[in-house]
């Protein structure tokens, strides 16, 4: 065959082969599409959860053409998941036992609304075998694993035994009642980690370094476990010094196929709650990554796992890893895996629950770039991270091509004290870790939460810390660097030129040019009464004099310096401020007359105008009381009394435990402010209290 003929033949053969492949792909696609829709028998889905995870599930379900039903407590009536779903039904007032944890009510609503399946999200009933059994009994598909896998892995004690039996490394542990553990703890050796056997999410976990601390830790963990998981069983395990917390995301189907979607690093934790997660882990070598993935898949296959789940490991300084636990559900931090693999884990859960085989093999899964997730919490880092429920005055979520915000709120929402203090999850992606870190910093600076305390400045301090940049981390990072992080937060805020927040507050308070109701009389009234406005930031006072003012600019005398101020306030709270020749962008809102909240470069600054009398405001975190009055012991925030440690007539000394109030999934110990006698106890176990409720009245020693 001549060269030209061979070339023509090759071109013809290539064309025919290409045409055959295209036809084949179209045929395969047609039958694949047909089979998917034949097997996709979830037409209507009830989401047995609330908040951001409920909204997250609804969005994927809607994209798949699945009708969604939400449930909500009265406290959640204005939440985003209620309006995001196709249908929504109130399930009760606010108590978890009567609402989101009430299996009978959840099943009843699912059946009454014609749902085919139930997705539990995470937390609440997500890992409750009794709920799974109830779903199956009612003829409902449970979007999650079967009860066998859940029972094996849902109890940490049994999970450790099972994993040890298949050759995956575990740390040494001990279980039993309090007396047994106290007697045999030396077999494990201190330090130990006390954990709830049926728990998850770090609830109840405590590090104990000495025998004298163990009994109280066991009792407290048992109490929290009974409260959150209806099972007070606890166990202890040897605490690995300076560990990394790294987890592997699994997907398994009903055909026995199990794959992993690589790992997430979750070492940045505070009180055993993850606050920053990233994928891939910057710690693992390719070899260790491969071994951990294989170990996780081996566990999944051994229990015939059929859904999305996560195998969590502790990794020591030598990169030796130990099984920690398995979460038989989707996890809070799943978005970083989705951002780096391109796989919608909720969609895969729904397909698996419909009986479909996994659409991917292990070789199909690739990691691209780097993703970081920050959890935005309603808490006060400068007040021992006290939860900060209340109404927001301004809420703005940042946007961007590689930015994702998973939240369950909208407008000016109220963060309730009944639930976890997480406001949302902020996720960013970059081509590498450093790019993702810088993107997260810039994105956090445009995340605005006014009216309640939040942890955004704390997250910024971590991300800017050289220890984080160089990845010299462990799960003890937040404890070890607490002083540095607090100092950094203060330095950054104090380093902001006070002219920026003060002048923005001034322009906002007199900015009639931005208000439609402005008129000549309001201008005249201002000039008659407010020529010398006074402002307060913390303990610093600033006295200003207005030389000239109109709706577009102001001339201000600041300590003898004449400053030209121009500004424009957008309807959403975004302010463009010009101070002489310097231009600034910030966010501003008012909680009440004379008080402004400003966000600049990610820092929240409260400015009070002293020459305007404040009006009564709704409850917010600023109203939290401090127990300085012996005769008026109150709760630091709204919550539930879960322990009363004293009796009437009992003498106490300063620092003695009086009560324990649970709020936003955290126990708050109410201590005696001084030496005295318990005159009266004004509450009972289980009572709901707020900052105005007198809990205990003490009389000082010698008063009687």
Point out the residues that are catalytic. Answer: 329
Q: Which pairing describes strands 67-73 and 87-92: parallel, antiparallel, or unpaired?
A: parallel
Contact yes or no for 441/460 (Cβ under 8 A): yes
Rounded CA-CA distance 665/160 in Å is: 26
Radius of gyration, CA atoms only, the chain: 29
Q: How far is Cα 180 from Cα 454, in angstroms, rounded to an integer?
A: 42
Alpha-helical segments (H) within 185-236: 211-229
Cα atoms found within 13 Å of the Cα of residue 628, Cβ hemisphere only: 3
Distance CA 625, CA 644 (A): 19
365 burial class (0-12, 13-18, 19+ CB within 10 angstroms)?
middle
Tell me if the bond preceding 556 is cis, omega within 30° of 0.
no
Residue appearing with tokens 């577009």? 552
251: which strand partners?
259, 308
Q: Which helix H or strand E contains 134, and what residues bound it? A: helix 129-137
Q: Which two tokens stand for residue 689?
A: 């209290």
Query: What DSSP state is assigned to residue 239?
Result: P
Nearest-angstrom CA–CA distance, 379 and 388: 5
Q: Please compute, for residue 21, the number of CA atoms within 13 A of its CA located in the half-sphere on the CB side.
A: 6
Side-chain half-sphere exposure of 178, counting CA atoms within 13 A: 13
Contacts of 3-11 with CB under 8 Å at 24 or more apart are none
Please report the sign of the dihedral spanned by the C-alpha atoms of residue 110, residue 114, residue 117, residue 122: negative
Q: Are 647 and 641 in contact (CB under 8 A)?
A: no
Neighbours of 139 (CB within 10 A): 9
Strands (E), 378-517: 379-380, 386-387, 390-391, 394-396, 403-407, 414-415, 422-430, 448-450
Alpha-carbon gap, residue 185 to 390, rounded angstroms: 43
Q: Which residue, chain included where needed, has tokens 């402010």?
A: 673
Cα separation of 516 and 592, whole Å? 19
List 323's β-bridge partners, or say none. Answer: 170, 313
Q: Strand 666-671 to strand 403-407: parallel, antiparallel, or no bridges (unpaired)?
A: unpaired
SS3 of the chain: helix, strand, coil, percent, to 5: 35, 30, 35
Residue 234 neighbours by CB under 8 Å, 6+ apart: 175, 181, 194, 195, 196, 197, 204, 218, 221, 222, 225
602 conformational bin, left if phi > 0, alpha if psi -120 to 50, beta if neither: left
Q: What gap in Å lies between CA 233 and CA 202, rounded to an integer?
A: 15
Structure tokens of 188?
């494990």
| Ramachandran angles phi, psi of 366, nearest 5° | -130, 145
């Amino acid at each position: 065959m001549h060269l030209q003929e061979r070339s023509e033949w090759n071109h013809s053969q290539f064309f025919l082969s290409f045409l055959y492949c295209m036809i084949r792909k179209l045929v395969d696609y047609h039958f694949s599409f047909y089979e998917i829709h034949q097997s996709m028998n979830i037409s209507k889905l009830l989401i047995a959860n609330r908040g951001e995870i409920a909204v997250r599930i609804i969005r994927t379900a809607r994209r798949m053409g699945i009708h969604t039903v939400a449930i909500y407590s009265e406290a959640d009536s204005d939440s985003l998941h209620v309006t995001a779903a196709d249908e929504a039904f109130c399930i009760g007032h606010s108590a978890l036992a009567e609402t989101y944890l009430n299996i009978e009510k959840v099943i009843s609503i699912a059946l009454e609304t014609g749902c085919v399946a139930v997705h539990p999200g995470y937390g609440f009933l997500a890992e409750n075998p009794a709920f799974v059994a109830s779903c199956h009994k009612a003829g409902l598909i449970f979007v999650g694993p079967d009860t066998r896998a859940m029972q094996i892995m849902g109890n940490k004690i049994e999970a450790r035994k099972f994993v040890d039996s298949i050759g995956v490394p575990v740390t040494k542990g001990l279980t039993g009642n309090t007396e047994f553990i106290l007697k045999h703890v030396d077999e494990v050796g201190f330090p130990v980690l006390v954990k709830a056997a049926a728990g998850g999410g770090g609830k109840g976990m405590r590090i104990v370094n000495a025998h004298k601390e163990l009994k109280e830790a066991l009792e407290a963990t048992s109490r929290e476990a009974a409260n959150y998981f209806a099972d007070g069983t606890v166990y202890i395990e040897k605490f690995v010094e300076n560990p990394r917390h790294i987890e592997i995301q699994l997907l398994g189907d009903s055909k026995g196929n199990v794959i992993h979607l690589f790992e997430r690093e979750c070492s940045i934790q505070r009180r055993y709650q993850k606050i920053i997660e990233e994928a891939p882990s910057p710690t693992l070598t390719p070899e260790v990554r491969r071994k951990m993935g294989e170990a996780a898949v081996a566990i999944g296959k051994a229990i015939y796992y059929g859904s999305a789940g996560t195998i969590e490991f502790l990794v020591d300084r030598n990169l030796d890893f130990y099984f920690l636990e398995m979460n038989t559900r989707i996890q809070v931090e799943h978005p970083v895996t989705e951002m780096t693999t391109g796989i919608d884990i909720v969609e895969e859960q729904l397909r698996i629950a419909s009986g479909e085989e996994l659409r991917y093999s292990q070789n199909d899964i690739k990691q691209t770039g780097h993703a970081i997730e920050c959890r935005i919490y309603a808490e006060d880092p400068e007040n021992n991270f006290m939860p900060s429920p209340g109404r927001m005055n301004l809420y703005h979520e940042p946007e961007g091509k590689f930015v994702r915000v998973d939240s369950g709120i909208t407008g000016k929402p109220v963060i309730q004290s009944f639930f976890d203090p997480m406001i949302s999850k902020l996720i960013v992606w970059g081509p590498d870790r450093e790019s993702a870190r810088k993107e997260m910093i810039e994105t956090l600076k445009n995340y605005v939460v006014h009216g309640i305390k939040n942890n955004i400045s704390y997250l910024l301090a971590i991300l800017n810390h050289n220890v984080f940049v160089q990845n010299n981390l462990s799960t003890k990072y937040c404890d070890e660097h607490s002083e540095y992080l607090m100092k950094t937060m203060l330095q950054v805020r104090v380093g902001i030129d006070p002219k920026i927040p003060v002048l923005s507050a001034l322009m906002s308070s007199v900015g009639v040019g931005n208000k439609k109701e402005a008129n000549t009389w309001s201008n005249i009234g201002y000039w008659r009464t407010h020529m010398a406005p006074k402002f307060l930031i913390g303990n610093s006072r600033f006295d200003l004099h207005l030389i000239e003012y109109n709706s577009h600019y102001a001339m201000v005398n600041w300590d003898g310096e004449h400053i030209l101020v121009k500004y424009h306030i957008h309807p959403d709270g975004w302010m463009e401020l010009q101070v002489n020749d310097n231009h600034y962008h910030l966010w501003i809102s008012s909680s009440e007359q004379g008080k402004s909240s400003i966000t600049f470069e990610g820092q929240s600054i409260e400015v009070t105008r002293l020459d305007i009398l404040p009006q009564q405001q709704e409850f917010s975190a600023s109203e939290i009381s401090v127990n300085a009055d012996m005769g008026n012991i109150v709760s630091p925030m709204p919550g539930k009394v879960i322990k009363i440690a004293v009796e009437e007539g009992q003498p106490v000394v300063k620092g003695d435990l009086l009560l324990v109030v649970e709020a936003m999934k955290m126990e708050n110990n109410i201590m005696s402010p001084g030496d005295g006698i318990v005159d009266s106890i004004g509450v009972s176990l289980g009572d709901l209290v707020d900052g105005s409720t007198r809990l205990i009245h003490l009389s000082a020693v010698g008063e009687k």
